[in-house]
Chain A
Amino acid sequence: MSEFVRQVKQPVKPLASRLGRLDIELTERCDNDCVHCCINLPAGDAAARAREMPTAKVKEILRQAADLGCMQVRFTGGEPLLRPDFEELYLFARRLGLKVLIFTNARHVTPALVDLLARIPPLVTIEVTVYGMHAESYEAVTRAPGSFAQFRRGVDLLLERRIPFVVKSALLPQNRAELDEFETWAATIPWMTKAPGHSMFFDLRNRRDDPEKNRLVESLRLTPEEGVAVLTRDADRYRKGMKEFGSKFMRPPGDVLFGCGAGAGLSVDAYGRAQPCMGVRAPGLTVDLAEKTLSDALDHFSTLREMRATNPEYLRRCARCFLKGLCEQCPAKSWAEHGTYDTPVEYLCDVAHAQARWLGWLKDGEKGWEVAEWRQRVEAT
């Protein structure tokens, strides 16, 4: 290439744009009824469908995002491909010069869609969630007869047309025995540059708070030790990765609530409400895009970094805990499970402690907020 033009993955000054990333949940509906899912309204839920943003509204939001310098939109859900206007929205986003990341269960990948994706590529690798390697296990999770065959057909179409995609799993008792089989299959997918990710530490309550579902989710959760066993399947790699990660990111966070990327991008739900991230669904951190713009939402969330934890339990533990970089505890998780920003989620706390014990960062019975010489322990990993 000449000196005039450079090929890049990202513009030279991506941080100069006001909006780093936009996530849009195109619908909360899904034709799977997964046992663990925090959303899954039925595909045919007419009331939910009627409340969803119309095509024109999604386009208006996409245009605003492009005007703010955003380079990438994620279309997710529910199942985004359930929307009859999906292809129209996809094309609209691409013609604005946005890359499009698609999260899907692949059941609705059609020949027409792969034709479109081959002609006008999304410029980001599609992510497909897998619920099992066989109809029996897959449909024990999705509770949708025929879903496995549709998923396989969708994936085969992507493979045939060489549309880049990666797979990830939701790891549940129904499919846990197939973990090796899944990873072996995943390794045959040409675009898998690393081992697949697994969702396994599921939230209670969240958007589908009802006692029966909460009991069900609790019964599906891995124990912290089981979770560690999955994470450490490639023990050397895990240890090496955690040492590197630990020396960069582990430290007690103090009372800062949002030390994360929330608010650098925006998340818009199916009904046109903007939030600083998909998990934080607090009314005080929600901007209705029927009345306001994405730019207003960014202004509204600009004070996020100044928000401080006040819950004494959080201040006693999380604020002083060196495991915070590793622990999934965050305002979104706290909001999902407790309806506050700063209540420790005990399950996630136990998972983080189990990981730290495995790594030798904690002795039995020790707590992450009690260790003064944590730096030396991380260094010695």
Chain B
Amino acid sequence: MTAASKIDVTLATICAPSEDVVAREIEGDIVIVPLVAGIGDADDELFTLNDTGKAIWKQLDGERTLGDVAKVLAQEFEAPLAELQADVLGFAGEMTTRRILAARG
């Protein structure tokens, strides 16, 4: 990946799609298209999300904390909260480092 540094996110962090990408929903898939240079490893790369990534992405509205997102998803999928918290933090950490998500808090 490009020279991006790891960004620490916590359950108190609030994330939203960054202005450096365009997220498109095509036939049920989320396709993230870099807008600015240096997001993907190569010049022409796009990003797609698996089902968990999609579910998390849809909750990242720039208002809820990551902790709240994990709670909502734990209820929705009837899964242990600790598991969802780990997933949400892992996802948000990676996506903010790549500048696909913008974080505050």
Interface residues of A (CB under 8 A from B): 1-13, 16-17, 66, 69, 71, 94-99, 118-121, 123-125, 164
Are B35 and A11 interface neighbours, CB within 8 A?
no
Given known pairs A2-B90, A5-B47, A164-B43, the reply for A66 and B24 (CB within 8 Å) is: yes
B33 & A120 in contact (Cβ 8 Å cutoff): no
The answer on a CB contact under 8 Å between A97 and B27 is no
Q: With an 8 A cutoff between CB atoms, is B14 at the interface?
A: no
Binding site for A on B (CB under 8 A): 22-24, 26-27, 29, 31-37, 40-50, 52-53, 56, 87, 90-91, 94-95, 100
B34 and A5 within 8 A (CB): no
Query: Chain A at the B interface: mostly helix, strand, loop or mixed?
Result: loop
Q: Contact at A9–B45, with CB atoms within 8 Å?
A: yes
Contact at B48–A120, with CB atoms within 8 Å?
no
Nearest CB on B from A12, distance (A) = 6
Q: Contact at A4–B50, with CB atoms within 8 Å?
A: yes
Query: In angstroms, how far is the closest chain A Cβ from the Cβ of B83?
Result: 14
Looking at the assembled complex, report how far the CB atom of B86 sits from the nearest CB atom of chain A, in whole angstroms: 11
**Is chain B's binding surface mostly helix, strand, loop or mixed?**
mixed
B46 touches A11 (CB 8 A): yes
Beta-carbon contact of B44 and A118 below 8 Å: no
Complex alpha-carbon distance, A90 and B91, angstroms: 31
- Given A2-B94, A4-B94, are A95 and B35 also a contact pair (CB < 8 Å)? yes
A66-B24, A95-B35 given; A4·B29 CB < 8 A: no
CB–CB A12/B49 < 8 A: no
Q: Are A5 and B49 in contact (CB under 8 A)?
A: yes
CB pair A10 B46 closer than 8 Å: yes
The reply to whether B33 and A4 form a contact with Cβ atoms under 8 Å apart is no
A69 to B24, CA, bound (A): 9
Q: Distance (Å) between the CB of A21 and the closest chain B CB?
A: 14
Question: Closest Cβ of chain A: how far from B87's Cβ, in Å?
Answer: 8
Cβ–Cβ contact A11 & B44, under 8 A:
no
CB <8 Å contact, B22 and A69 = no
CA distance A121 to B47 in the complex (A): 16
- Is A97 a contact of B33 with CB atoms below 8 Å? yes
**Which chain A residues border B94 with CB–CB below 8 Å?**
1-2, 4-5
Asked whether, in the complex, the Cβ of A118 is within 8 Å of the Cβ of B37, the reply is yes
Contact indicator B95/A5 (Cβ below 8 Å): yes
Complex CA–CA separation, A97 to B6 (angstroms): 26
Q: Closest 10 CB pairs between A and B?
A: A4-B53, A97-B22, A16-B27, A97-B33, A97-B24, A69-B26, A11-B31, A7-B45, A4-B91, A123-B44
Identify which of B29, B49, B87 gathers the most chain A CB atoms within 10 Å of its CB.
B29
CA distance A164 to B37 in the complex (A): 12
* Chain B residues, CB < 8 A from A99: 33, 44
Q: Which residues of A contact B23 (CB under 8 A)?
A: 97
Asked whether, in the complex, the Cβ of A121 is within 8 Å of the Cβ of B48, the reply is: no
CB distance from A210 to the nearest CB of B (A): 41
The complex places the Cα of A123 from the Cα of B21 at a distance, in Å, of 12
Q: Are A94 and B43 in contact (CB under 8 A)?
A: no
CB proximity of B33 to chain A, nearest CB, Å: 4
Contact B37 A16 (CB under 8 A): no
